Structure 1
Amino acid sequence: MQPEFIIIHQQVVPYVAHIQLNRPKELNALNLQLMGELRDALKLLDADDQVRVIVISGNEKAFAAGADIKQMAEKSAMDMYNTDQFSTWDTIKKTKKPIIAAVSGFALGGGCELMMLCDMVVASETARFGQPEIKLGVMPGAGGTQRLTRAVGKALAMEMVLTGRFITAQEAFQAGLINRIVPVELFLQEAIKLAQEIATMAPLAVKMAKEAVLKAFDTTLDEGLHFERKNFYLLFASEDQKEGMQAFMEKRTPSFKGK
């Protein structure tokens, strides 16, 4: 079935797919259907050999301005528990290929949390980031207290979570939350350009390197180093390792196949 709240652009450039969140009237508020469509699209693209990097964007006004409050306002605790809406987020987290968020305008609440599920962020000058759930009598529930703290540190995360204050793109860049800031008319183009650069690298090495970087947040230094070393050794079983090193010695551009 054709998704209703996302648009999938495959092969915007070679080996790069683009998913656009598409609820513009609601500033791309993340309802259950949108998140399910996004999960399903990412699973398909993750299994597609013609896709090596994925870009997720909204529009110029909003990446996503939060969760769909209308869908939650009357829910009971047991309704929320039984719906288990965050299981979708757990599936998205398992995407092996790199995901780049192209952010313009609002990335708030669930939108900020979705952005932090991505691996890199290219933001426009108009981007605003925040976890304003506290103003609704609740708190972040999709990683806002955990990923934000790991990204920007305790002091700024505590301020954002406890006051609901939005931060600017410049503040987010200085805090290490995003990779770069570009003019609003270039935010998607620059995200695709970054994706295209990564897509020229050896696909297996990219996926295993992503896995190792993420492992740093889940384990001790010694265990992380062990995991990194194991992935490093495993890549010597790949054809791409042979091709990459041979191309280096022959002073030519490697041709990686993902094998």
Structure 2
Amino acid sequence: MAHEFCKVDREGPILIVTINRPEVYNALHAPAHNELAQVWDEFAADDDLWVAVLTGAGDKAFSAGNDLKYTAQGGKGTPPPSGFAGLSMRYDLEKPLVAAVNGFAMGGGFETALACDVILASETAKFALPEVKVGLFAAAGGVQRLSRQIGRKPAVEMMLTGRSVGAEEGRALGFVNAVHAPGALMDAAMAKAQEIASVSPSSVKATKRVLNKMDEMEDLAASLKYSRDVMSELRDTEDFREGVNAFVEKRAPQWKNR
């Protein structure tokens, strides 16, 4: 099928998915979420595909996260049940994903990378959960996944300040597996995917099944549903409206705490 918001290629048992909205730094809106959800559905159902690599178009951004301009302009559409990028609330995928973070991964973009199994980063990559700066919070898995993957204290500090973290600091914190020169990133990601594809796919699926069960035992799905409920309440506040409008108008927000 033709894709409007991503590019999809395959190389043997490897699927390569490229978020393709470079004009908005690969930010995602409801139509893109739904398109990506279908891509992952097809990936899961294809027995000849064993591993996927996810990256962003261009050399600036993996994904800037939520398309706030689309939101501010009253953009329509409902995200799929599987969540941001079709991944944040997908709990049963038994095939591994390698994120090749080629630039900045902000908000939902970072949360999408965290939903992958391996993160390889360009030396120029930047990571942040800056939602608190625009009246939001990291409701697409950032709160849950980052705190589980690097520990609560450093994760909370990132979430409450919204600060950016470079690739090397990301590796030191533990959410980045390896850092590569920009021109070598995709080769490294494909090499990692090929390394994974060289072992037993049945064993990889079994490993992922146990990891998914661990998420179930830790009630990840319930926690993410609760995040959606809290986000719905947050959207009714003056601070939410001010944060989004200030971002679009490129000015400092004037918070009211109500």
Aligned pair 1:118/2:116, yes or no? Answer: yes
Can you give the 5+ residue segments of structure 2 that lack an aligned partner in the other structure? Answer: 219-258
Count residues with an aligned counterpart. Answer: 214
More moved, 116-125 vs 43-52: 43-52
Pair 1:208-2:206 in alignment: yes
* Higher RCO structure (Cα 8 Å, ≥6 apart): 2
**Match of 2:142, SS?**
coil
Structure 1 unaligned regions, length at least 5: 221-259
Question: Matches of residues 143-162 of structure 1 in structure 2 within 5 Å?
Answer: 143-162=141-160
Counterpart check, 1:3 vs 2:9? no
Q: Residue 50 of structure 1 aligns to a residue in which SS?
A: coil
Q: Which residue of 1 aligns with 2:64?
A: 65
- Alignment partner, residue 21 of structure 2: 23
Q: 2:31 touches 2:79 (CA, 8 Å); kept in 1? A: no
1:257 aligns with none
TM-score with structure 2 setting the length = 0.77
Between the aligned partners of 1:72 and 1:86, the Cα distance in structure 2 is: 19
Is the 8 Å Cα contact of residues 104 and 126 (structure 1) preserved in structure 2?
A: yes
In structure 1, what is the Cα distance between the partners aligned to 2:23 and 2:213?
Answer: 38
1:42-53 map, 5 Å: 42-53=40-51
The aligned residue for residue 254 of structure 1 is none
Matches within 5 A, 1:154-173: 154-173=152-171
CA contact (8 A) 1:64 1:111 kept: yes
The Cα offsets for residues 225-256 of structure 1, whole Å up to 9 and x where unpaired, read as xxxxxxxxxxxxxxxxxxxxxxxxxxxxxxxx
CA-CA distance at 1:92 after TM superposition: 3.6
Q: Report the RMSD for the aligned CA atoms in angstroms.
A: 2.1
Task: Determine the C-alpha separation between the residues in 2 that align with 1:86 and 1:139.
Answer: 19
Greater shift after overlay, 31-40 or 208-217?
208-217
**C-alpha spacing 1:187/1:142, structure 2 compared with 1 (3 Å):** same
Tell me the percent identity: 38
CA distance in 2, matches of 1:30, 1:93: 20
Q: Write the distance in 1 (CA, Å) between the matches of 2:27 and 2:176.
A: 21
What is the SS of the residue equivalent to 2:9? Answer: strand
Rounded to whole Å, the distance in 1 between the matches of 2:78 and 2:37 is 16
Distance 1:34-1:194 versus aligned 2 partners, 3 A rule: same
Quote how far apart the aligned CAs of 1:85 are: 5.4
Contact kept in structure 1, 2:26 and 2:62, CA below 8 Å: yes
SS of 1:146's equivalent in the other structure is helix
CA contact (8 A) 2:92 2:212 kept: no
Give a deviation string over 1:104-137, Cα, whole Å, max 9, x none: 1111100000001111111111111000000001
Larger Rg: 1
Report what 2:173 is aligned to: 175
